[in-house]
Structure 1
C-alpha cells in the first residue's frame, strides 16, 4: 500500500471513533508532535487514550479537505467536528512499512479577522 492510502485508511478509521482500530495504522514506535501546545504523544496506548478521553459533544467526524503526497510524506488538511465545535488540523505524516511512524499536527485556533484589513478581503463561508 502506498503512503497516501495508508493515511486515507487512517482517517477512515478515525471516522469510526474506534481509536483502537485507528491505531492499527500506527507503528509501535509512533509519536505525535503538537507544536502549538508543546506536547509529544508517544505510543499507540497514549494515542488511544488521549483520543478516547478528549471531551466531545458527540461523534467525531473527519473531512479531508486536501491531501498532498511526496514519497513517504503525506500532508492532510482536515476539518474535525463533533457537531458543536469545528476545528481544522494540518497533519504531516511520515510512513514507513505501511505504518504511520510520526505525525506533526497543527491545530490552529479560529480568530476574528482584524478590522484594518477588511477593505482588502472577503469573508469566507465557514467550513
Structure 2
C-alpha cells in the first residue's frame, strides 16, 4: 500500500476511534496483529482480542484529538490526546504495516504534569 493510502487508512482509524465505531476502527489491523502497551507490560494478540479489549473499556472518552501523524513506507507514528473523565492521556502510537494493514502497534500513554517554574524563562506554553 502506498503512503497516501496508508495515511488515509490511519485517518479513518482515528476518526472511527474518536467516534466509538469499533468495526471501522479495527479494519486497519491484520487478523494476527500484535499490539503492546510497554508501560503496563500487556501484549494483545489478534485483531479480535484488540477489538474486544477496546470494546469493554469501562469509560468512553470525552475527547479525542490527533496532534500529528508522521510516517513513510511501513512505519507510522501518531500523537494524540484522549480525555477520560476530565483527565488527558497524551498518547503515541507506532504502527508497523505489512500488505497495507497494521501487523504491530506499540502504544505509549502519559499523563500531563505541571511544568516546573525554574525553566519558565526558556519555554513557551502551548495553547
Q: TM-score, normalised by structure 1?
A: 0.81
- Alignment partner of 2:104: what SS? strand
Aligned to 2:12: 9
Q: Say how many residue pairs are matched.
A: 124
Tell me by how many angstroms 1:16 deviates: 2.3
Aligned to 2:69: 67
Structure 1 unaligned residues grouped into runs of 5+ = none
- Give yes or no for contact 1:66–1:77 (8 Å, CA) kept in 2: yes
Structure 2 unaligned residues grouped into runs of 5+ = none
Q: Aligned pair in 2 of structure 1 residues 122, 16: CA closer, same or farther (>3 Å)?
A: closer
Q: Aligned pair in 2 of structure 1 residues 35, 63: CA closer, same or farther (>3 Å)?
A: same
Q: Aligned pair in 2 of structure 1 residues 105, 59: CA closer, same or farther (>3 Å)?
A: closer
Tell me by how many angstroms 1:32 deviates: 0.8
Q: How does 1:17-32 map to 2 (within 5 A)?
A: 17-32=20-35
Mapped pair 1:88 → 2:90: yes
Deviations 1:2-60 (A, max 9, x none): 3222211211221221223311111011111111222111112221222122232x455
Specify which structure has the bigger relative contact order, considering alpha-carbon pairs within 8 angstroms and separated by 6 or more residues. Answer: 1
Match of 1:52 among 44, 52, 55: 55
Deviations 1:67-121 (A, max 9, x none): 1111111111111124623221111111122211111111112222234434443
C-alpha RMSD of the superposition: 2.1
